[in-house]
Chain A
Amino acid sequence: MKRTFYLFSNGELKRKDNTIYFETENGEKRFLPVEDISEIMAFGEVSLNKRLLEFLSQSEIIVHYFNYYGYYMGTFYPREHMNSGYMTLRQAEHYLDDSKRLDLAKRFVKGAADNMLRVVKYYEKREKDISNVREEIERRRADISDCDNGETLMAIEGNVRNTYYEAFDAIVGQPAFAFESRTRRPPRNYMNTLISFGNSMMYSVVLSQIYRTHLDPRIGYLHATNFRRFTLNLDVAEIFKPIIVDRIIFTLLGRRQLSENDFVKGTEGVVMKENARKMFVEEFDQKLQTTQNYKSLNRQVSYRHLIRLELYKLEKHLMGEKQYDPYVAAW
């Protein structure tokens, strides 16, 4: 699979003949091999022109922008190259039909709950005192199948997630990184900052994979669609957030790679400093490259690839071939 390029420095992204290069403000030049990139993540101040956008579009490379605070800002999503009117109609059909839509939304919530349980069980085995959290998630998870409307489903989803977050303090065991409550826009403490940053990354990675399929990212099932925003990536990210983002946070904190000094408090809430962000991204990229055996394909696939396979499973659900059964981590 092609690579992801992360740009942290400020500079200009240019087209040079049939390649792309990045010139930083200190005059350093770095060539990015076009044939080998599928996405660029721009954290620094990056300027570019139409000529480059045209080239990116031709080369089917997508660019995600993160703002000064490290939060997802938007994506240059070149005109879709894998359009299938058929698939778009099936996607819309499953959105417009309430029962089909609820069915899919439930599958995402259930998959997310299953992966949260995986994480909790994993740390339970490592002697963390969180069995009450596990039991509570298991109880609430059982309500998902009986649920018959979207609002109730969202409520269950919220409850499962809040219960799950209760395990965070016991897993991390560092008062400085206390969870307190979930705060977004802006996140109010270190833990929330880490979660928001990680989730941002997750959304953009899933979006990049959607781009390589026939799915339209604007039609989501759990997250409401308004046909202007990308929402399908949010749905699919739910499955992977616990096992990728949260595990990275626990690993980094467990290794004491992050401390209070890696954050700044400002009017925009708590933000990570650049070196911490780089460290997080590095860990994230490595995680996406780790492989595991995928039984039905009978070979090793990376987490990044796993996301693509998840999208194919979704396509088959939409085609009426095989019901979507979310990936649940095996560890």
Chain B
Amino acid sequence: MASDDMHVTGTLVWYYYICQRQVWLMAHQVNPDEDNPSIDLGRFLHEHVYEREKKEISLPGMRLDVLSEKDGRLVVGEIKKSMRGEKSARMQLLFYLDELDRAGVSAVGELRFPEQRKRERVTLDEASHTELDRARRDIFRIMYLSEPPAPEKIRYCRGCGYAELCWS
């Protein structure tokens, strides 16, 4: 596998805490089925919520959904369809905060679940920084496997855009 375009992204971090097979597939541009209704809904939400706020900032390895400022501090918002993968979502956001921190930008995070009308504050600390370093290394390890990790039936399979590939 060519190494130039192999880097850990926020999306991969998100997948990492859900299913390691997804990490491998995603890293090999084997994308999920676009006809999948929940992917469609995710895309729709992404396009249509928080329209008044500034959004979609692209930086290497990150696509920040919503950016705002509160009490003189940068707030990075990440939009999620449901709270099902909450841990994943938090880690993805922490990854962004960590990357920004390395670039000398201090920011806090906000998880947003528009459908549940909920927001959740996320701040970077030493423990999450250590955990992210471990995750980064493990994501690299998975990306460089010559074959994808075998499928495993987990609670996220239902509704996953890869389910048909995995279980066909």
Contacts and interface: CB of A to CB of B under 8 A. Distances in A.
Contacts, number: 52
Interface stretch (A11-19, A78-86, A250-258): A78-86
Nearest to B27: A86
29 contacts: A1-B35, A38-B35, A60-B34, A81-B34, A82-B34, A83-B29, A84-B28, A84-B30, A84-B31, A86-B1, A86-B29, A87-B30, A214-B30, A296-B167, A296-B168, A297-B163, A297-B164, A297-B167, A308-B164, A309-B168, A310-B168, A312-B164, A313-B168, A316-B165, A316-B168, A319-B147, A319-B148, A320-B146, A321-B150
B131 interface: no
B34 A212 contact: yes
Nearest to B5: A85
Interface of A: 1-2, 38, 60, 81-87, 212, 214, 296-297, 308-310, 312-313, 315-316, 319-321
Interface in B110-168: 146-148, 150, 163-165, 167-168
Nearest to A294: B168
B101 interface: no
B56 to A, nearest CB: 19
A241 to B, nearest CB: 20
B29 A312 contact: no
Contacts of B31: 82, 84, 214
A101 B2 CA distance: 24
Interface of B: 1-2, 28-31, 33-35, 146-148, 150, 163-165, 167-168
A328 to B, nearest CB: 15
Contacts of B167: 296-297
Contacts of A83: 29
Given A84-B28, A319-B147, A321-B147, A212 B33 contact: yes
Contacts of B28: 84, 86-87
